[in-house]
Amino acid sequence: MTFASISIGPLTIRPAVLLAPMAGVTDYPFRTLCKEQGAGAVYSEFVSAHGIIRENRRTLEMIRFTEFERPIGIQIFGDDPEVMAQAAQKIVKRFAPDLIDINYGCPVPKVTKRGAGSAALKDLGLMDEITSAVVAAVTPIPVSVKMRAGWDSHSIVIPEAGPRLEARGAKAITLHPRTTVQDYSGKADWSLIRELKSAVSIPVIGNGDVQSAEDYFEMVKATGCDGVMIGRAALGNPWIFAEIKAALEGDPTPIARTLAQRAKMAQRHLALLTEFRGEKIGSQLIRKHLGWYFKGFPGALALRKSLVTAPDLDTIEQILKSLQSNQEGIS
């Protein structure tokens, strides 16, 4: 396969493998690591349109990015077309991202009970209004959407929602082919990505259950999608982008993840976190990532426990430095 690219409006993304927006994960440090490993584009954590309008400091910090991260999309959520439009316009004016992405996929009850996220799948009229309002507010910046297949298995909206989103100016659609009720359980139904691809002429990005370069190629072959978005498979594993990029360039060799390499990446992650949030908060935030970096090998449980329960930043750094002298291969 050639070195794949995807065009979203005037924006060209190469390679066509993107880091998914993930709450509490895709902050500046994690986006930077994935970009360094070859992600074609990255997305912010989803941010509240109301928080942007109120100029909430924490919300605005979640949007801040560096030039290195481009192309970058800022994902917003909300249930009011006017508020969403105003928020998108503020983001473009203040931060100038490469695209705005609308969240129609979050299944978390605290979001859906407000009518936002994947709750829009139960009201395609509201989805129409929000999409139209955001597109009008930020043109010529491209607007994409990320969505699920439907609220439940009895209300799959893909065949109708896709063309409606395209008609209202969306330049690309990312589909996670599970329902809201499924959450992240069961298997993603890739046939729904293929169905969406056949229903629209704008790019379709597949998302769900891609955990390797092999899975990337299988999804593209099975669905005809224009790009693939990686979410949970990147947790503790930013190397997945390097593997897919290398495979697209003709080298399908998996990247070895030695214990020393994991420790080096974790230390780099910790340094970015402390730079971004300070030593106290950075040392707290790294702990969940350490649980992801160090798993799947003998003795991993004890190692994770020592890292996650470390009393301070210095102790974490000492453990990580000592691990970098261990060259044992871990697959």
And the tokens for 89?
A: 């316009």
pTM for the full predicted model: 0.94
Structural domain count of the chain: 2
* Residue 317, burial from CB neighbour count under 10 angstroms (0-12, 13-18, 19+): middle
What is the DSSP code (8-state) at residue 102?
E
pLDDT in tens, 97-156: 999 999 998 888 888 888 888 888 899 999 999 999 999 999 999 999 999 999 988 999
Q: Can you give the residue range of the structural domain that contains 309? A: 259-323
Tell me the sheet residues that pair with 147. 104, 175
What is the DSSP code (8-state) at residue 73?
E
Instruction: Note if 34 is an active site residue.
Output: no
Question: Do 301 and 209 share a structural domain?
Answer: no
Dihedrals phi, psi of 211, to nearest 5 degrees: -120, 5
d(CA 241, CA 231): 11
Q: Which of 216, 248, 280 is the last residue of a domain?
A: 248
Question: Do 277 and 210 share a structural domain?
Answer: no
Q: Which helix (H) or strand (E) holds 49?
A: helix 49-53
326: confidence class by pLDDT, cuts 50, 70, 90? low
Q: Which of 248, 278, 299 is the last residue of a domain?
A: 248
| Catalytic-labelled residue, pool 41, 72, 100, 106 | 106
pLDDT in tens, 246-272: 999 998 888 878 999 999 999 999 999
Q: Which of 211, 227, 248 is the last residue of a domain?
A: 248
pLDDT in tens, 52-75: 999 999 999 999 999 999 999 999
Question: Do 96 and 54 share a structural domain?
Answer: yes
Dihedrals phi, psi of 113, to nearest 5 degrees: -65, -15
**CA nearest to 319, candidates 267, 280, 242:** 267
Question: Do 152 and 285 share a structural domain?
Answer: no
